[in-house]
Amino acid sequence: MTGLLKSRRSKAATLVPLALVCAAWTASLTGIDTASASKTKASDLPDGTAVPSQAIKAPASVPVPGSIAPSVPDGTADSVVAGASTSGIPSAALSAYQRGAQIIDAADPTCNVGWELIAAIGRVESDHGQYDGNTLGSDGVSTPGIYGPELNGENGTQAIMDTDGGQLDHDTVYDRAVGPMQFIPSTWSSVKVDADGDGQRNPQDIDDASLATGVYLCSGTDDLSNRAGQEAAVYRYNHSRAYVDLVLRIMEAYSQGDYTAIPSGTYGGTVFTPSYSSAVQNRTHKPSKTVKPSSPSTGGSTGGDNGPSTPTEPSTPSTPTAPKNPLAPITDPLTKGLGGITQPLVSTLSTLTEALDFCNSQFATIPDPLHLLDAAKNKCATKVQGMTETDAAAVIPNTLTTILAWLGLGKA
């Protein structure tokens, strides 16, 4: 117990108000004087200005029936992990995750949270702010807004009465999880922070939500650079062992990958074509300059009546042959082999995750007040996996009734 109290006191001594760190960060981006920016922002954040020294035990999000997390239906965990190394992260989201981790690590050097852990939570909770037909803008805000199911105790949900007067979740009877990180409103009120200096603490803004996630994970004394600390923090975030396992698997996949941000709302990889000819510069040797002979001396002390001999005119140097490219045996076959690959590659929905995302985007335009399509998305993904997007769009019906009939869930 003494060691624990000492650890907490040590942590409290290292905490830096998040308002000051955020202000310094914003100043570095805009060129504002850091001191004046700090003074301005310090008063703007009456809540969430420091990492709590006591661990927050109330969950940030709650399990969703039929899913490990909102954007990961049951049975799709392996495909989500497999896709984590190739599908990319929207640029606005990647920036938010990295910035949030850096701010937290500056405010609390004992936590050691990595951006990959925050990103993994963003992936499972909302597919990086793009869940349920939402678009993540360049400003980091998900529109029209991400709202979880009503937590009314029915259909396997927890019962949580309204705590925010409907201000965040537009529900004045029960609570709903909100935003890219799916915070319950009551928990959001404990960790909310303005991460991007726009004067708002908005759970739909992935900048604010990512930093708030860092605040939550780093509350208490856990060291998130090791597995035990990571497991404890993520379990507090969502009381599900399957959730913890999935988040840490995705975190590891992100840690092993080489991540480059892709435009918000864009999926797929980028083809990199190396320039083989640039490996060796083609050079030709310039002919050396002709050296004129020096004038002969007029004779030494011994003298002589013969004058100096006329020097022989130098011959014109021949033009040297250009050296052979040492990589020619390698690049020539490659160049010839690539000659036939002139048509663009056709993008297919090769993974179940890509197929599920595509079905979500198609269903987003279908009026579905009773949420009947929620149970249909997995079946849709199974049907269109392996198709091109054009073919998949052609086979998916465009009305609620015909979609349900197509998937065997209702009558045409």
14-30 average pLDDT score: 50
Domain assignment present for residue 328? The answer is: no
Of 304 and 155, the structure prediction assigns the larger pLDDT to 155
The answer to whether position 84 is within a domain reads yes
Q: What is the pLDDT of residue 22?
A: 58
Confidence of residue 316 (pLDDT cuts 50, 70, 90): low
pLDDT at 28 over 60: no
Note whether residue 179 is domain-resident. yes
Record the tokens describing residue 181, joined without a space: 């990180």
Domain presence at residue 376: yes
C-alpha 123/C-alpha 364 separation (Å) is 19
Cα-Cα-Cα-Cα torsion 336, 337, 341, 347, nearest 10 degrees, comes to -150
Contacts 24+ apart (CB under 8 A), 72-77: 72/124, 72/246, 73/356, 73/377, 73/378, 75/378, 76/352, 76/353, 76/356, 76/378, 77/242, 77/246, 77/249
| Range in 8-22, 30-44, 161-175 with the lowest mean pLDDT | 30-44
- Does residue 338 carry a pLDDT above 70? no
In terms of Cα–Cα distance, which of 198, 148, 201 is closest to 170?
Answer: 148
**Domains: count for the chain:** 2
Going by the DSSP 8-state scheme, the letter that residue 225 receives in this structure is T
Confidence band for 349, pLDDT divided at 50, 70 and 90: confident
Q: Would you state the pLDDT for residue 387?
A: 85
Residues 249 and 371 in one domain: no
Whether the per-residue pLDDT at 109 is higher than 70: the answer is yes
- Report the DSSP beta bridge partners of residue 67: 73
Q: Is the predicted pLDDT of residue 282 greater than 90, yes or no?
A: no
What is the average pLDDT score of the chain?
Answer: 76
pLDDT of residue 325: 56
Residue 70 has pLDDT above 70, yes or no: yes
Which of 238, 256, 274 marks a domain boundary?
256
Residues 248 and 385 in one domain: no
Q: Is residue 361 part of a domain?
A: yes
The whole model's pTM is what? 0.58
- For residues 358 and 251, the model is more confident at 251
- In this predicted structure, the answer to whether residue 54 has a pLDDT above a threshold of 60 is yes
363 and 248 share one domain: no
Quote the tokens at residue 128: 């990086």
The dihedral of CA 59, 62, 67, 71: what is its sign? negative
Alpha-carbon distance 221 to 242, whole Å? 24
Range 75-102 average pLDDT: 89
- Asked if the model's pLDDT at residue 30 lies above 50, the reply is no
Q: How confident is the model at residue 295 (pLDDT cuts 50, 70, 90)?
A: very low
275 within some domain: no
Highest mean pLDDT among 53-62, 223-232, 373-382: 223-232
pLDDT at 53 over 60: yes
Residue range 285-299: average pLDDT?
45
Contacts of 10 (CB under 8 A, 6+ apart): 110
The arithmetic mean of pLDDT across residues 116-123, rounded, is 98
Indicate whether 285 pLDDT > 80: no
When pLDDT is cut at 50, 70 and 90, the band that residue 186 belongs to is: very high
Looking at 239, 256, 273, the residue that finishes a domain is 256
In a domain, 271, yes or no: no
Is 60 exceeded by the pLDDT of residue 347? Answer: yes
Give yes or no: residues 56 and 182 share one domain.
yes
In this prediction, residue 132 carries a pLDDT of 95
Residue 16 has pLDDT above 80, yes or no: no
Q: Are residues 201 and 84 part of one domain?
A: yes
Who contacts 245 (Cβ-Cβ below 8 Å, separation ≥6)?
A: none
What value does the mean pLDDT take over residues 209-227? 95
Q: Which of 203, 222, 256 delimits the end of a domain?
A: 256
Decide if 261 is inside a domain: no
Top-confidence residue, 109 or 268: 109
Show the domain range for 66: 2-256
